[in-house]
Structures are given as C-alpha cells and as structure tokens.
Amino acid sequence: MFSGSIFILRTLNKAFQIGGIKISTPVLLAPMSGITDYAFRILCREHGAGMVYSEFVSADGIIRENSKTLSLIRFSSKERPIGIQIFGSDPEVMSKAAEYVVTTFKPDLLDINFGCPVPKITKKGAGAAALKDLSLMDDITSAVVGAAGDTPVTVKMRAGWDKNSIVVPDVGTRLSKLGIKAITLHPRTSCQGYSGRADWSLIRTLVSNLNNHTDGGIPVIGNGDIQKPEDVLRMFEETGCDAVMVGRAALGNPWFFYQTAALLRGESTPDTPSLTDRIEMCHRHFELLIKDRGEQAGTNLMRKHFGWYIKGFPGAAKIRHKLVTASGLEEMRQMLRGLRNRQIKKFN
C-alpha cells in the first residue's frame, strides 16, 4: 500500500504533465456525452478542474463537417487546457478527423475514445469495441498519432470487453510504444456498463506496467466510482495514479474540484454549498447555456441539470418537476428567481 499523506504530497509536488502540457491540479473533468459542453466546462474550470474535455465527437461527423458535430468542438481560451475526444472505427477516417481538429481548433490534446460501452457506438466497432481487436486499436492509435503532429494524443479506455478479456496487462506498453502520452483507465469492462464496482487494482496494474517499461512511463489517469472528494485521495493512495478523472460526481456540483484540491493540500474540506449557492450556480449554468446554445437548445439541455442542482431540501422534488416540465425560458427564469428570493428572505 502507498503511504497516504506522503504519497498525496508527492503527487501534488511533482509536475503533472501530458506531453508538454502542464496541469495545475491532478483532478480532471471527464468527457460526458450531452454534459461537458461549453457552459459546464467553464463552471468546472472556474472551480478548479485541472483540465476539461469535450463531449466525445464522431470522426465521421467531423470529416463531413457536420455543423452539429463541429459545434461540440468549439471552445474558448478560458477553458484551456482542454482535450477534444474523438471516436470512430476506421483508422483513415480517424486520421482525417484528427488532422481537421488539430488544424482547425488547435486543442491542447486529442483523446481517443476506447471506452464508451453504449451499444449504438460499439455496434459500429467504435468506443470500447476496439478492445475486442487490439490490432484495430493499434491501427486507429497510430493513425491519430501520425495525423496529430505535435499535439499530444491520449486514450481513455475500459479494462476490456468482458471479464474474460481484460487487456490492461498488455495494452499500456502497447499504446505507449505507439506514441500515446497518457492513458485514462475506467476499470470496468464494456459489458459491465456502469454496474458493479470499478476494479481499482487494474489501475494499479497499469501504473506498475508503465513504470516498468524500459522506454519510461507515461501518466496514468484513474477514473471510476469517484463519488466524493475523499474518494479521489483514496484512488491516489490505492493505485499510485498520476491524476484522477471525475465524471458523475461533478454533475450539479462544480464545487467538487475546489473541495478536492483543498483536501489534496491537507486543508479542511470547504463547507458544503448552501441551497442558495446551488440555486445561484444553477441560474448561472442556465444563462451560460442560453447564451451559447440559444433559447430552444439551451432550455432543453438545462432540464436534466435541474435534477442535479435542485435537491436535498423539503419540496425539492416538486420544484424539480415544475422546472423540468416548464413551457420555456421565461417560466424557468421566474421559478429560479422565486426560489432564490424565498431563500434570501428566509435568512434575512
């Protein structure tokens, strides 16, 4: 076992880099479909996420210059460092998509999705399906690395397709030799989806394999079953990973990043955000979405976020239902203002 406080101090004091990208805090926002758009990325960066990622983006859509696909790649300088995650099953298409993204958008890094377990992705041979054919994984990886030029290429992957085909012991050095600059491991299989427990021992195995690699190791980023800031510390201690990637724990909770950073520095955990704080953040998230995506798309996208922000107080379920079923922008704004004003009155 790692010595907790000593290991965490060492983790913070060493420079965490991916290629030449220096990352201030080793706690990253995971790419999440339909979630990690501009509005949410900005909030998480403001609250201490060391790095953020786009939603995963189809290589086919990129090379066709599909407007909806390309809208998912846009980002502002305030979001840097940022990674763009792409997926696909054809090495040539992935190569062209990588070149297009690097040339047109100039992200800090490109990430290859070898982890998505969703059937509509894997049925096309993309996402975690590549783990069933490591030769295809190699071809896709080489194609993207070759097309990306000086932009670092990373991989986010699952442990394998199913429990009988765990690839972690072999795939780390394999990807490293192909030029990958970091690997994020979610240690469930594709067939598990999000059920059962993530096997963190596989993250430790990957760390050990890469550290023993004669060409030198590359960073390993742990992911999976992070629910509270203390879990981040535990993952560092148990696995020896270089950074932790956070997904669902950040939903409706961008404060997760500064709370975790405080723990990593050995400080007491900051106070849990109050209901007023959550309402204010929800309102800001809403306005950022409207500004970025327009009224119709912004209101539709925000409906799921209401469920993550508006919770934990008497009557929350009823208010959430009203917000989710509201007719449009002005009704939602009025409800949020009313909820905020009631909170202010309560404490005055």
User: What positions carry a catalytic annotation?
Assistant: 116
Cβ pair 190, 122 in contact under 8 A: yes
The residue type at 345: K
Q: Which three-class secondary structure state does DSSP give residue 183?
A: strand
Distance of alpha carbon 97 from alpha carbon 89, whole angstroms? 12
Q: Which residues pair with 179 in a beta bridge?
A: none
- 105: exposed, middle or buried (C-beta count within 10 Å: 0-12, 13-18, 19+)? middle
Of 206, 151, 127, 129, which Cα lies nearest the Cα of 174?
A: 206
Of 29, 53, 34, which Cα lies nearest the Cα of 301?
A: 34
Residue 24: Cβ within 10 Å count: 13
Span between the terminal Cα atoms of the chain, in Å: 51
CA-based radius of gyration for the chain: 20
The token pair at 66 is: 């599909």
Alpha carbon separation from 166 to 125, 133, 147 (Å, rounded): 18, 12, 29
Query: DSSP labels for 206-247?
Result: HHHHHHT-TT----EEEES---SHHHHHHHHHHH--SEEEE-
The token pair at 37 is: 């758009």
Cβ pair 309, 282 in contact under 8 A: yes
The residue type at 296: Q
Element counts in the chain: helices (H) and strands (E): 15, 11
